Amino acid sequence: MQNHTTMRDVQEEYRENALHGSPDFPLRVYPNDFRWYNNNTIEWHWHPEIEVAVVLAGSVRVHISDMVFEVSEGQGFFINSNVMHMETPAQEGGVPLMNTAVFLPEFIGDCGSQLIYRRFVKPVIGEESVKGLILSGENEWERRVLSAVRQLYAVTEESGWGWQLRCRNIVGEMWYEIASNLRIGSDESQTAPEVLGETRVKKMMSFIHDNYSADITVADIARSANISKSECFRCFRRIIGKKPVEYLSDYRLKTAARLLRTTDMQVTEVCLACGFNHISYFGKVFRQRYGVSPRDYAKANTGNSDPF
């Protein structure tokens, strides 16, 4: 098993810090098969890019901040820049498939400095109450957005002459539909406390991602967001649906599984690197989560890695 992945690579991949696309063309369109992810789940994360997806098969339960929606085949969703989100299958046994378009806000409007960006992009991504929305396809503008995601995927797959220009035009039309139909400031807008709660959870999640290998406590996690332990518990319960210690343990186990799949580190090394102080306890909780011992997991999954 060759070591192609460093601890920093693992952390940054999970946190979605990498640019989607390239600096010259910050757009990426790809199929999203939930079988590629641990437990068929795209875990909690956020990124500066805007995300628009259409469900091709199955049903998806979409968590956008503290909102939860079920999105069926043929429907889709929009997630605003830097908003926390997670996707899971909505039905037992059904593994969804999506087409997903991810692009930086600056991709829409003149490199972030001209009229289009200032007037039609910045107000939307800067409005903290606008987390995202479900595209049910019940009206014409939603159907046009869903069709645009499919078009983007087809164009990027073909990669014919001028495909980048075609994509730029499609994204522009798609954003017109979204921006002109958002109801900013409606009764469904999030209140200031809800926005503050997500900001706090982001800080605490980032602290966990940066320090999971250390012996950190709930008090440490709460301190990273300058709040009390009780408020820390409330924020995690409201936004993530887990206790902070549960999220920390889950993150450590997922990182351990990734290291076992993609590096030649020994089980004891992985145990210590992921913040577990006792190999016997690590083996116990790993088996509870993945059904096999860490050693057997490594043997069965050598060379496997998540595609994104």
Give 30's strand partners. 100
What pLDDT, on a 0 to 100 scale, did the predictor assign at position 127?
Answer: 81
Candidates 254, 236, 258; CA nearest to 245 is: 236
pLDDT in tens, 50-71: 999 999 999 999 999 888 999 9
8 has a pLDDT exceeding 70: no
**How many angstroms separate the CA atoms of 63 and 77, rounded?**
11
Candidates 78, 62, 98; CA nearest to 174 is: 78
**How many angstroms separate the CA atoms of 232 and 276, rounded?**
22
Band of residue 193 on the pLDDT scale cut at 50, 70, 90: low
Name 285's Cβ contacts closer than 8 Å, sequence gap at least 6: 249, 253, 276
pLDDT in tens, 68-81: 999 999 999 999 99
- Which residue segments constitute the domains of the chain, with CATH numbers given? 7-181 (2.60.120.280), 192-300 (1.10.10.60)
Whether the pTM exceeds 0.85: the reply is no
Name 131's Cβ contacts closer than 8 Å, sequence gap at least 6: 64, 65, 67, 79, 80, 83, 190
Give CA angle at 50 (48, 51), nearest 5°. 125
Band of residue 301 on the pLDDT scale cut at 50, 70, 90: confident
**How many angstroms separate the CA atoms of 43 and 13, rounded?**
12
